[in-house]
Amino acid sequence: QVQLQESGPGLVKPSQTLSLTCTVSGESITTTSYYWSWIRQPPGKGLEWMGTIDNDGSVYYSPSLKSHTSISSDTSKNQFSLQLSSVTPEDTAVYYCASALSGPPYRDYEVFGSWGQGTQVTVSS
């Protein structure tokens, strides 16, 4: 069973870079057919897919976030990471990492079979 756990600071100042890491257990992130994603949910709003990295390191980004989002992986630690630069208060959200057995585009979130518990990130000075 795949398990995911997000980690990173809970408070980031405006204009700084938000960095989060997802540690995966129960499956290697290099296993063929697995896709590893970052998803967020701002307060009072729905889920928003941010981007996905696949088993060979190819990355897919949401067009609306691509300009200031970076996703990478560290296979030696079985982790993948998110960096969101130049954050504003509108980036305040619960951030989730999740896995799926298919790649984007995603029509809904039911395709994600495993989720981390989520981590609250607040952007504030």
Residue 88: its pLDDT value, please? 97
Residue 6: its pLDDT value, please? 98
Q: Can you give the three-state secondary structure of 71-124, one letter per residue?
A: EEEECCCCEEEEEECCCCHHHCEEEEEEEECCCCCCCCCCCEEEECCCEEEEEC
Residue 38: its pLDDT value, please? 98
Spatial distance between the Cα atoms of 95 and 22, rounded to a whole number of angstroms: 10
Which residues on adjacent β-strands are paired with residue 13?
none
Residue 69: its pLDDT value, please? 97
Percent of the chain with pLDDT over 70: 100
Segment 17-35 mean pLDDT = 96
- Token pair listed for 37: 């994603």
Q: Which residues contact 72 (CB under 8 A, 6 or more apart)?
A: 53, 59, 80, 81, 83
Residue type, 33: S
∠ at Cα 66 (75, 5), nearest 5°? Answer: 40
Under DSSP, is residue 48 helix (H, G, I), strand (E, B) or coil?
Answer: strand
pLDDT band with cut points at 50, 70 and 90 for residue 36: very high
Q: Under a CB-based contact definition with an 8 Å cutoff, are residues 121 and 20 in contact?
A: yes
Residue 123: its pLDDT value, please? 98
Mean pLDDT of all residues belonging to the chain: 97
- pLDDT, tens digit, for every residue of 55-92? 999 999 999 999 999 999 999 999 999 999 999 999 99
- Token pair listed for 2: 């795949």
pLDDT band with cut points at 50, 70 and 90 for residue 19: very high
Residue 82: its pLDDT value, please? 98
